[in-house]
Structure 1
Amino acid sequence: TKNKTDFHGVRRKPGSKKKTHRFQLAMFRLFSKPVGMLPENKCLPGRDEPIKDAPAKESKHYVLKGAPIYPPFPSGSEMISIGMGCFWCSESLFWKTKGIVSTHVGYQQGTTKNPTYREVCSGKTNHNEVTRIVYDSKVCPLEKILKIMFETHDPTQVMGQGNDRGTQYRSAIYYYNKDQKTIIDKVVKAYQEILNKKGKGKIATEVELADTFYYAEEYHQQYDAKPGSRQYCGLRPLGISFPDLSPKE
């Protein structure tokens, strides 16, 4: 019998149900999720070096052929990081949009240095699963990216999206400059007004200045496009659209 690998990549040997139960119990105790964000001194310490399974520096985008996933990016490009639940679900939403230079997924806005996926899933890093988007704002204004984001997930859910629950699944936008923050505030206000008219809840999207971005493991990058992917989607959009607020030419 071949060894089986669980969702988090832990290899298990064939054995009795009792051994399996003991393993599961041990893992539960070790990685049981806390509720909500942790004080920094309660988070896992991490490591000084990038994780060994991070994509190689010379890696190219699996879908946007030839595009780098590490800086430097083409002159004039901007970056924005978004959280919409599981990053498997969100990255592919932007590949067909004209003006998107590159995308990559990782962990951001937490405490643990160079975290692994397994550590992030423990809830003990404070990191969020995000898609970082590199875009040409002259071709694809930030407003268009935010329109896609808000229309394809439920921004009123707190610490989760659909069946995916936990701090790493929080709705979020992490910006890199003041101009982006101004645009984000405008879009959030406009969408909240529409949700109010529809009797929906308050937008819970976390909006913060981007902290250190840590690349997720190579197998997570452009996951949906790769052979053998799970084709999983936990997004739960509200089904409420709003006009494109991009500047008119």
Structure 2
Amino acid sequence: MINNLSDFPIFSGLPEDAIQDIMPLLKERQFKKNHILMFENDESDEVYLIRSGMLKVYRLHDGKEIVLSIAMPGEIIGEVEALSNDLYRISSVEALEPVTTWQIRKQDFLEIAETYPSVFRKAYMILVERIRILNRLVRYLTFYDVRTKVANLIIDFYFNFGRQTDNGYKIEMKINQTLLANMLGVTRESVSKILTEFQDEKIIDIREKYFYIVDMKKLESLCEETEEIQTLRKWYKL
């Protein structure tokens, strides 16, 4: 749980008196798993700072869902619409687990950004990071077969949520096949088939929805030449 406002990259570096001035503007909000904080094209102007829990950012088309990113503690959502003076939400956001946030009104956020230009600069940097992540998603959707897509996404998850254990490289996030499928633009059945193959080949093991990479070298070999700079797999580096 993040309790210090300065731990949010967009507000990092602000003087302590500024932090103290901002705190009264924040309202704590808690959301249950599967709660939808915002719908694409809805008119709303709240900005959220994620203190705990994870959310998915997604879009729907003809009943099909494509997950654009996973939002994690320390991130801000809704600031792009606020800074662009656009009331219409760019995408939908849903809690993947219980989530705690600080909510701030659009007008208050704009006044903070105008008072402290570093907030504008940090918002721009965050936007660039999101574009980079979307570029990777486009590569996955466009250029790779399903096996390569799944292998890459598993390694991406490890770079962001993984740690080495006695039983292999564990991804510290429960992942279901539907989430993987919706991040890759393929069917759940296709993902299930590939994951079964990976387990049969002793590349991964799945226990209680936790993924363990048993043979990292083999998994990496399936991703050969798909990512020249491995550190770019980290979704947010701010």
More strand by share: 2
State the TM-score, normalized to the length of structure 1. 0.32
State the TM-score, normalized to the length of structure 2. 0.33
Larger relative CO (CA 8 A, sep 6+): 1 or 2?
1
More helix by share: 2
